[in-house]
A and B are shown apart, each in its own frame.
Chain A
Amino acid sequence: MIFKCKNCGGNAVYHPDKKKMWCPHCDSLDSEERLDSENMANCTNCGAPLEAVTEFTSALKCSHCGAYIILKDRVEGEKRPNLILPFEISKEKAVDILKQEFGRRILTPDSFLSYSTLECLEGSYVPFWLYDYRARVSYEGKATKVRVFRSGDYEVTETSHYQVSRKLNIDFEKIPVDASKRMADDIMDLMEPYEYKALQNFEEKYMSGFQGEVVNFSEAEEEERAKVRATKDSESLLNETIVGYTTCVPLHKEINLTKTKAHFALMPVWVYRYQFRGKEYLYHVNGQTGKVIGKTPTDKRKAWIYSGTVAVMAGMIWQSICWILGVF
């Protein structure tokens, strides 16, 4: 499947700034026309073989003509996402964000964030399961309040003992768990939060201009991660209700989780891959909020020269101060 411009025949893509379909060739807005194809092996636009297709690919860029192709079979039936969070950060904005975060770091290699390496920056829709849960929390425990005060020459410690009990209902809505093998779980967890108000019912046009995947894991396979998070958050919320005590010993604690719904959603992420001296550095930018995850690369040669300069200058400045003080 491809979205073509009715005016010039170019590949129309979704533009995050304009929030509309846009033709980069003739600058037309909302002029797209959907062309379906059942053939998943070849590009709908030029017919060249689609080499980068894997078992989970749902959208990709043709390496021959540069057109963005959406694989029809991968966005239909059971594989069709329920929801999509369209990109709100454009490629230009993502570059600006990366430059703002890492551009001023002194010891980065000169080629880092250079024009040629930023060509590799790609927008990708990552598959997520969003789980809804109802948690029933019940707690019973013993707690103490300790007060220490002075009475004459003595320090008095007064300990009050309490019996504490709580019952809570907590409704969790759309706890996100990524369902992609390509993306590291810890990185995707750090990408959060997304603002769910912008979630849309899935439409193929939002994928035009970006890479995409179907879920790599089933709803049941990923559920454990969501359960762990819901349990941990329930405990935190329970603890927020037990305040003002010096010690608290639980006698009975029970958290029952009931899954009420699960949604398959696509979330927007910009990915920048940078190679330096045989090592790959990965940077992720949340395609909605602009939150950045990544580790600054360091040019070790530059680090030694700069650190040595600082060491010599600091040592000599200190020695000079000693000489200046010697006059007084």
Chain B
Amino acid sequence: MKKFVQIFKIPLIIFAVFLVIGIACKVIADNRPKVEFVRNNSQCTTERVFDYADVLTDEQEEELRVKISEAEQVCGTDIVFVILDESLEEYAKSYESTIGYVEPYQYTMVFADNFYDENEFGFDKPHGDGVIFVDNWYRESDGGVYSWLSTSGRAINDLSTDNCEFILDMALDYVEDDPAYAYDYLVDLIEDYLNPNIRLGDGLGGGISVLIGLIAGLIFFFVNFGGKKGKKTIQSRTYVRSGNADVLERQDIFLTKTMSRRKIETQTRSGGGSHVSAGGHSHGGGGHRR
């Protein structure tokens, strides 16, 4: 017991300090009023899932609608899903006179921005806070299948281009095998970023705390368990008189030279950042190619 106290005296003090401050912070956070949203835009349609490609069954579409409706109330932003299976090349190119040169990864971006603007989506007002996800299953002429998550209003700041690309990468990993699961997962990820009531540290406690405790305990156990002392400290020249070999002959004769070459493959990557749509409204977002 004496040795235990001697070893753990300082860690126990640190532990107690963290625990007291932690509990106090939890009480403060729990008593803080939650942000609640009231919808102000009644001009846009109430439909949120536009499955023109018939990728989802009616039942799956309905489940997605319910999920999106709940997420919208929590986040205070509109969430719109459009699923296509058609070339958007010609459509997007037709807007080049307004928005400049359009690259293949931007075809879905042009469609998403226009769809959002034309339908006057936005939770707080037309063209207000919201996100629209366009997933086009058609393989464009450059060989890419493109998706885009476009943001508007408050969502432009809350969901950066990097965030959009990251969550699309995460969710669309599953889209080929199970599109319903991938879209459902995408709504969860969007909610994680746009829900103002999510506090820093949410989702990191509970089970993860138990896991971290177990890992720390195991590390402590294995670092201090047993342990051999003593390793080989001699070298190949330890028992060589004068420490070196006597080199009698040393020849390196050049014979021939051969050469081979291969073409370096270059990869293009989808871009992003804040931009203005053909309708003149600001949008953010990021894309994904598969």
Q: Which residue of B lies closest to A189 (CB)?
A: B232
Tell whether B239 is near chain A: CB-to-CB under 8 Å: yes
Tell whether B35 is near chain A: CB-to-CB under 8 Å: no
Which among A171, A241, A313 is the interface contact of B12 at CB below 8 angstroms? A313
Cα distance A236–B237 in the bound complex, in angstroms: 9
Q: Which residues of chain B are within 8 angstroms of A321 by Cβ–Cβ distance?
A: 18, 22, 201
Tell whether B264 is near chain A: CB-to-CB under 8 Å: yes
Inter-chain contact B227/A173, CB cutoff 8 Å: no
- Which of B236, B242, B259 has the most chain A CB within a 10 Å cutoff? B236
Within residues 115 to 146 of chain A, which ones have a CB less than 8 A from any CB in chain B?
A: 137, 142-143
The proximity string for A residues 148-178 relative to B, scoring 1 for CB distances below 8 Å and 0 otherwise, is 0011011111111111111111111111100
Query: Which residues of A pack against B, CB within 8 Å?
Result: 101-102, 105-107, 110, 137, 142-143, 150-151, 153-176, 189-190, 192-193, 232-234, 236-238, 240-241, 284, 291-298, 303, 305-328
Q: Which residues of chain A are within 8 angstroms of B209 by Cβ–Cβ distance?
A: 315-316, 318-319, 322
Inter-chain contact B18/A307, CB cutoff 8 Å: no
| Complex A-B: 11 CB contacts under 8 Å | A137-B245, A154-B262, A155-B262, A167-B247, A170-B245, A174-B239, A189-B232, A237-B240, A293-B229, A294-B230, A322-B201
Besides A168-B247, A314-B217, 6 new A-B residue pairs in contact (Cβ under 8 A), listed by A number: A156-B259, A165-B251, A296-B227, A311-B214, A315-B212, A321-B201
- Which of A166, A232, A307 has the most chain B CB within a 10 Å cutoff? A307
Q: Which residues of chain B are within 8 angstroms of A168 by Cβ–Cβ distance?
A: 245-248
B58 to chain A, nearest CB (A): 41
The proximity string for B residues 228-264 relative to A, scoring 1 for CB distances below 8 Å and 0 otherwise, is 1111111011111110011111111111111111111
Inter-chain contact B229/A292, CB cutoff 8 Å: yes
Inter-chain contact B226/A298, CB cutoff 8 Å: yes
Stretch at the interface among B3-11, B97-105, B125-133: B3-11
Within residues 196 to 241 of chain B, which ones have a CB less than 8 A from any CB in chain A?
A: 199-202, 204-206, 208-210, 212-218, 220-221, 224-234, 236-241
Q: Which residues of chain B are within 8 angstroms of A318 by Cβ–Cβ distance?
A: 204-205, 208-209, 212-213
Inter-chain contact A193/B234, CB cutoff 8 Å: yes
B105 to chain A, nearest CB (A): 23
Inter-chain contact A315/B213, CB cutoff 8 Å: yes
Stretch at the interface among B25-33, B182-190, B270-278: B25-33
Inter-chain contact B248/A155, CB cutoff 8 Å: no
Q: Which residue of B lies closest to A142 (CB)?
A: B255
A310-B216, A316-B209, A328-B200 known; A171 vs B260 contact (CB < 8 Å)? no
Inter-chain contact B230/A326, CB cutoff 8 Å: no
Tell whether B53 is near chain A: CB-to-CB under 8 Å: no
Inter-chain contact B236/A323, CB cutoff 8 Å: no
Which among B234, B256, B264 is the interface contact of A155 at CB below 8 angstroms? B264
Q: Which residues of chain A are within 8 angstroms of B248 by Cβ–Cβ distance?
A: 167-169
Q: Which residue of A lies closest to B256 (CB)?
A: A161
Inter-chain contact B251/A164, CB cutoff 8 Å: yes
Q: Which residues of chain B are within 8 angstroms of A110 by Cβ–Cβ distance?
A: 3
